[in-house]
Structure 1
């Protein structure tokens, strides 16, 4: 067991194996069965490249040998920051085969996030693209190495520019591994949490539990070896990685199509060109696709679109189905574990009007009041989760674990939910302070920490405010330092960029205030600030952006 992780209690692990949820296979075996039985089947496709299962299997083995030549060994951690390219799939698969643990970063992450990940995991390597969306990640990687002396290797997909290229490593001749492969109960990957308190926490997913999630997701979507999955969201996201995503598709022998983004100009040609049957979008992307439905050469009949990451208006889903010809499946899930979805063959009122049912019969759901007592169906309460693919503790985070889990192992989601008589969930809000910006979870505490470092900022409170396209955006209420020139929104965004923050974490709105309202217990009254923003209240102490 990886140091710093919390194992599933033995009695639960034994039960999950006995009942057939954990089947004793690892993600290291992805692509091998198909490579041996039908190796010419298409495994991974992009607009420029196509890999069969045999090619994927052989290239992953060669890359694993190259990683081994660098000294990578079982339970080492490697931060992987790659966009939706074949190298992402190959790198993860090669690391799985060595028992090395990929730590998945997003392409939008910058110095601040990457330094934090590398330090926290004691990573031996960082894997980046050469240039992505006109940003040179090689320069970024060097900056990260300067801030993390223990980082031994910088690996590059594409032109290495003096660093170590993945293509060079993949020239190594595959050989029999010197040590056994990973055990099914080993940690396979470290995924990012939504970052609801300060820096994102890391979620250890084992081979057993993550493989189960992929299989269950595929089953719920009626997705099998004939299926073609379009990864339009970043593949490092849980949604596009394992729901069923890249890994679930490879498990069942389907085809993974990698798109650079959900933008219609990239995604639409692939839908028809590759015969896509399943994809995952955020609500804002679904609305954009609906607006541009006329661009499609023909209706996308037979395409199931999983929609999650933010609240979805049922009417938006109905318009999308009518315009595009797709079937919408609503998803609610957390990277920490239990996933709920509506099945494509369910009645419309359930499929579009609820957030679905759990994937697994062994998933345990409680909805409780503020005292921890279960509430009746139809009543709102906090959603608690436990099950065979739900974590029992964050990586190296004992303080968070003490607050995030009940004594009997249920995960406290911080989401408000109610259960319908049919067993479907309806998510009605959340308790934790987080901004859900088009599916990207932004911690208000993290934004506040960075804004507070600006020399003209005396105090700040960040809140989520409604936005028509993204669902929510961020607004920072700032008390300027007396006697200084008050910061502008542009000043703060530039400041956070220089501190290495990702674009989606930059504040969207600014309000300059003389004081921050407080609750009776002395905390900043964020509800009042949010209400003031919505009401468009203009006072002398407020300056709008």
Structure 2
């Protein structure tokens, strides 16, 4: 990999993965044209009233790729992408693959705090955003971020309002000139398949999220093998309701796994039951993927006979562990098969198989997709635990990179000297050969599938006026799985409240899903023997406090507000 800051697989491993056929040595942009040649007139994408065929998608992506080149972008550049689920997202992604530009996939809730960090870390050469989304002016923020960069950074905009000096992305997707001649010119620019194709974001346990470099070789295997395991075919109609910036709906198997086999990918702007159910009924969707919080809402609305859901065959659930009761009810409630998914943007993917016994489907989180996936379950000293015992999951494989991008110090902690990725997840092997996720070592909150770093939240809260110290906690929530709670030791100045914390986070431009939703004022934190905050004891105290109407500990007063939008 040419990009400075990336960590390559050892040469002997790369040769092994290539010899086994896992890595096929073709960039994703080349695969795009193979799909076009195989399925040309078939519809590839549905986005509301817009329907895009395979050949049209390839030709439009090429038109955009050449216009990106005219803006000065090329092999080795990075492009910050913050777009909702739309066909332009997919076309831009594929255009980047034609010319060696790697999209850095940001989430729509990210604001100045996160975007400025990503733009600097990846040294982005351009930024792509909608003009507005859910009443937020992304175009203005993108212009502000672009202005912080040491070189001119064009802002690409999807929408009806494109400010002077910015690039109208929809106009840049217009087809002009000879498509075959353009294809030939771009073929000459094709990047090496071992180079970075895209950057995904980590769950983020030590401050702001780390960036994960995924190559053309490893990511093509990621979605191809996922599609094989999940039974994707040309008859598949996949509904993307989760944000495409996430690994799950993008390539597990997701939209890319659907396109690779000639299926139809339907892009939904929202996972809300009314919106998603209407898409399922209209397009006869066969497969979709959701997080447990979305699955819970869908099950609550499954009795609504307004929509015909009989086409639905498989619902993938991942992002966080599916509660046992919901696992039992979901398949029968939606009239389809449940598939549990346990994976990570860092690589390793595990799926239950559709033909697994019902008990295995309900009780486990699946098994690895590849025979080349290596798994160790170890104790605190790094020693393998006995079969069936719980330990930390370590992994290596053909689609699990060997390090985060530009994070050498963090990589020393996150990876062993011989390349094992320390997931921080606690798992055990089930007698079926599947994994069961029992918990985690990492300090994070899994809020409806969005991972929130406890360290990052604490650092921000400590800067709030009137806060002497802060400890963040993952607190249970029946719908989202977990919410962000914060325990605060007041200091000098105004007494901190949830409202002042919210205002501070908003002023700092922090993504709303990271904002604490419960605040407890305490006099001190329980400590471990080595002087660290004893989060387990603190959490137990807070949960006990929450179970009574009058606080058991008068010094700890809870304050609660609605979840951030």
Quote the residue 2:555 is aligned against. 541
- Aligned residue for 2:260, secondary structure, equals helix
Any gaps of 5 or more consecutive residues in structure 2? Answer: 546-550, 560-565
Structure-to-structure mapping, 1:78-477, within 5 angstroms: 78-150=79-151, 152-158=153-159, 159-162=161-164, 163-171=166-174, 173=177, 175=182, 176-177=185-186, 179-296=188-305, 297-477=307-487
Q: CA deviation at 1:151?
A: 5.3
Q: Tell whether the 8 Å contact from 2:285 to 2:311 is kept in structure 1 after alignment.
A: no
> Aligned partners of 1:37 and 1:250: how far apart in 2?
11
> Aligned partners of 1:151 and 1:453: how far apart in 2?
33
> Aligned partners of 1:459 and 1:394: how far apart in 2?
30
1:47-71 residue CA offsets vs partner (Å, 9 max, x unmatched): 2211011110110010001101001
Quote the residue 2:562 is aligned against. none
Instruction: State whether structure 2 residue 532 is matched by structure 1 residue 523.
Output: yes
Quote the residue 1:513 is aligned against. 522
1:475-497 residue CA offsets vs partner (Å, 9 max, x unmatched): 11111222x22121111012101
> Aligned partners of 1:151 and 1:488: how far apart in 2?
41
Q: CA deviation at 1:384?
A: 0.3
Q: CA deviation at 1:302?
A: 4.1
> Aligned partners of 2:135 and 2:423: how far apart in 1?
37
Quote the residue 1:12 is aligned against. 13
Q: CA deviation at 1:142?
A: 2.0
Q: CA deviation at 1:35?
A: 2.3
Q: Tell whether the 8 Å contact from 1:457 to 1:480 is kept in structure 2 after alignment.
A: yes
Q: Tell whether the 8 Å contact from 1:118 to 1:151 is kept in structure 2 after alignment.
A: no
> Aligned partners of 2:202 and 2:263: how far apart in 1?
28
Greater shift in the superposed pair: 8-17 or 528-537:
528-537
Quote the residue 2:78 is aligned against. 77
Q: CA deviation at 1:267?
A: 0.6
- Aligned residue for 1:328, secondary structure, equals strand
Q: CA deviation at 1:248?
A: 1.3
Any gaps of 5 or more consecutive residues in structure 1? Answer: none
Q: TM-score, normalised by structure 2?
A: 0.94
Q: Tell whether the 8 Å contact from 2:35 to 2:260 is kept in structure 1 after alignment.
A: no
Q: Tell whether the 8 Å contact from 1:65 to 1:170 is kept in structure 2 after alignment.
A: no
Q: Tell whether the 8 Å contact from 1:188 to 1:206 is kept in structure 2 after alignment.
A: yes
- Aligned residue for 1:367, secondary structure, equals strand
Picking from 486, 495, 498, the partner of 2:507 is 498
Quote the residue 2:548 is aligned against. none
Q: Tell whether the 8 Å contact from 2:280 to 2:309 is kept in structure 1 after alignment.
A: no
> Aligned partners of 1:323 and 1:37: how far apart in 2?
37
Quote the residue 2:563 is aligned against. none
CA gap of 1:304–1:456, structure 2 versus 1, over 3 A, is same
Number of matched residues? 544
> Aligned partners of 1:301 and 1:251: how far apart in 2?
21
Greater shift in the superposed pair: 103-112 or 296-305:
296-305
Greater shift in the superposed pair: 20-29 or 390-399:
20-29
Q: Tell whether the 8 Å contact from 1:304 to 1:329 is kept in structure 2 after alignment.
A: yes
> Aligned partners of 2:290 and 2:491: how far apart in 1?
42
Q: CA deviation at 1:405?
A: 0.8
CA gap of 1:502–1:151, structure 2 versus 1, over 3 A, is farther
- Aligned residue for 1:273, secondary structure, equals helix
Q: CA deviation at 1:421?
A: 2.8
Q: RMSD in angstroms over aligned alpha carbons? A: 1.4
> Aligned partners of 2:337 and 2:142: how far apart in 1?
41
> Aligned partners of 1:290 and 1:55: how far apart in 2?
37
Q: CA deviation at 1:513?
A: 1.3
Instruction: State whether structure 2 residue 53 is matched by structure 1 residue 52.
Output: yes
Q: Tell whether the 8 Å contact from 1:30 to 1:93 is kept in structure 2 after alignment.
A: no
1:159-191 residue CA offsets vs partner (Å, 9 max, x unmatched): 212222112333464631385301111110010
Q: CA deviation at 1:301?
A: 4.8
- Aligned residue for 1:230, secondary structure, equals strand
> Aligned partners of 1:354 and 1:151: how far apart in 2?
50
> Aligned partners of 1:169 and 1:39: how far apart in 2?
22
